Amino acid sequence: MAEIIDGKKISEEIKTEIATEVKGLLDKGLRAPHLAVVIAGDDGAATSYAESIEKQCKGVGFMSSVYHLSGNTTESEFLSTIDFLNNDDEIDGYIIQMPLPKQVSIDKVTAKVAPGKDMDCFHPNNMGNLLLGKECYLPATPHGVVELIRRCNIDTAGKKCVILGRSNIVGKPLSMLMLQKGIDATVTVCHSKTKNMKQICKTADILIVAIGQAEMITADYVKENATVIDVGIHRVAAPELPKGYRLCGDVLFEEVAKKCGAITPVPGGTGSMTTACLLLNTLNAYKKKL
């Protein structure tokens, strides 16, 4: 059986480090860091993520605000909210929850985000800096994955890393991070048009899966002793359970765990790392202003 990579425990360690630093700031009479979330409409996953961020901000001593706009909000109202956040000195950083309502242009929104408050690396300048390996706020989920790899001492230099998924928020930025000097993986990215994906996956020392397909990746995609990082998260019906559902990832955990060397579970793997890295970005944005 594979080693289970305990993302929850590692994220708790990061949050404890952050809380200690915040306490030090408050003891000096300084204000707490402040993270804001913008959300429009009633998407259940986005709303519960916003609630979870608020709770975790409180846990580390941050202030937080949620700007919950209606799903019918106009583009100009949405952009005014971004303007307000850009100009409020007491808000150190913010994220914008996807999906946006269809009347709001994602390109206009990302261009409007102040790069210094862009906690999820939405602004094209920040994405460009990420590509160039320059300092920027790393996007929370890819940041969480590389932090998990780093804190678990998983060897990446010269290793073959296959990433499944090329979205702008997970797969693409993650491929850039795994390529950076210091991480030094040899990276292949697959997507829905990739041919022979199973064969490519079987060459991976590190297989990172972010395709949004519940339990699609079975043991025959995985090389013996590989490290498997599952970014996917799904709620699937389970009428036999009191809640009526269970959570799972893009990887068929029970089967793959018998073959690989190490694996992240869902829940308890990459999910909690995302929020911890968001908090880390906010603390860093705050400290830049001291």
Closest CA to 120 of 106, 132, 110, 112: 110
Query: Containing H/E element for 129?
Result: helix 124-132
Q: Which stretch binds ligand NDP (CB under 6 A): 23-31, 129-137, 147-155, 162-170?
A: 162-170
DSSP-derived pairing of the beta strands 186-190 and 206-209: unpaired
To ligand NDP, the closest distance from the beta carbon of 258 in angstroms equals 23
Tell whether residue 192 is a contact of ligand NDP (CB under 6 A).
Answer: yes
Tell whether residue 232 is a contact of ligand NDP (CB under 6 A).
Answer: yes
Residues 151, 258: Cα–Cα separation, whole Å? 23
Residue 157 CB neighbour total at 10 angstroms: 10
End-to-end Cα, the chain, rounded Å: 48
Degrees to nearest 5, angle at CA 148 with 219 and 65? 120
* Alpha-helix residue ranges (DSSP H) falling in 40-74: 44-60
Q: Site map for ligand NDP, 120-159, x if CB under 6 A?
A: ---------------------x------------------
HEC states along 18-30?
HHHHHHHHHHCCC
DSSP for residue 217: B
Q: Which stretch binds ligand NDP (CB under 6 A): 18-26, 54-62, 115-123, 228-236?
A: 228-236
Tell whether residue 270 is a contact of ligand NDP (CB under 6 A).
Answer: yes
Site for ligand NDP in 204-223 (CB under 6 A): 210-213
Number of residues that bind ligand NDP (CB under 6 A): 25
Tell whether residue 171 is a contact of ligand NDP (CB under 6 A).
Answer: yes
Query: Containing H/E element for 80?
Result: helix 75-87
To ligand NDP, the closest distance from the beta carbon of 217 in angstroms equals 9
Q: Which stretch binds ligand NDP (CB under 6 A): 32-40, 118-126, 193-201, 219-227?
A: 193-201
Q: Which stretch binds ligand NDP (CB under 6 A): 29-37, 114-122, 226-234, 255-263?
A: 226-234
Tell whether residue 274 is a contact of ligand NDP (CB under 6 A).
Answer: yes
3-state secondary structure of 139: coil
Binding site for ligand NDP (CB under 6 A): 141, 164-167, 169-171, 190-194, 197, 210-213, 231-233, 250, 270-271, 274
